[in-house]
Amino acid sequence: MSSEKTLILVKPDGVRRGLVGEVISRIEDKGYHITALRMLQADRELLQQHYAEHEGKVFYEPLIEFMESGPIVALVAEGNRVIEGFRALAGTTDPTSAAPGTIRGDLARDQGTKVVQNIVHGSDSPESAAREIAIFFKGN
């Protein structure tokens, strides 16, 4: 049985709104295993590494500022096709049009801010997952 890992973040909006348990429940209810977990206040350097692919975009600076605006929860989830599976659980980037039933579709909406606040991050490929897990879980 092949397995896979993904890096999931509960963003500052999710932590502020008390949705950590809700997000974790949805991951576990789907049948994935959480194999690492930490709460942290991310600093700018870590966030610049994590979001390097978005450097230069209009929402880049607001994204970094938003992500350092409060504590986040980082976790590693494991299971066959977990990268794709968690992206499906999360829903599309824009929470206004994200499908009902998804984390973003059920729990978030566009608040008119420069960066859209959408509760969670999930890695988008095996390469991203390996890179992102190394950033948030050094030594794992």
Segment lying near ligand IDP (by CB under 6 A), choices 14-22, 33-41, 42-50, 116-124: 116-124
Structural Rg of the chain based on CA atoms:
14
What's the distance, Cα to Cα, between the start and end of the chain in Å? 22
**The one among 36, 59, 131, 137 contacting ligand IDP by CB under 6 A:** 59
Is 121 a residue of the active site? yes
Q: How far apart are CA 98 and CA 79, in angstroms?
A: 24
CB-based contact 50:135 (threshold 8 Å): yes
Total residues contacting ligand IDP by CB under 6 A comes to 8
Contacting residue, 121, 129, 132, 136, with ligand IDP by CB under 6 A? 121
Residue 84: exposure state from Cβ atoms within 10 A (0-12, 13-18, ≥19): middle
Active-site option among 33, 50, 54, 121:
121
Is 102 among the residues that bind ligand IDP (CB under 6 A)?
A: no
Where do contacts with ligand IDP occur on this chain (CB under 6 A)? 59, 63, 93, 115-116, 118, 121, 124
Tell me the catalytic residues.
121
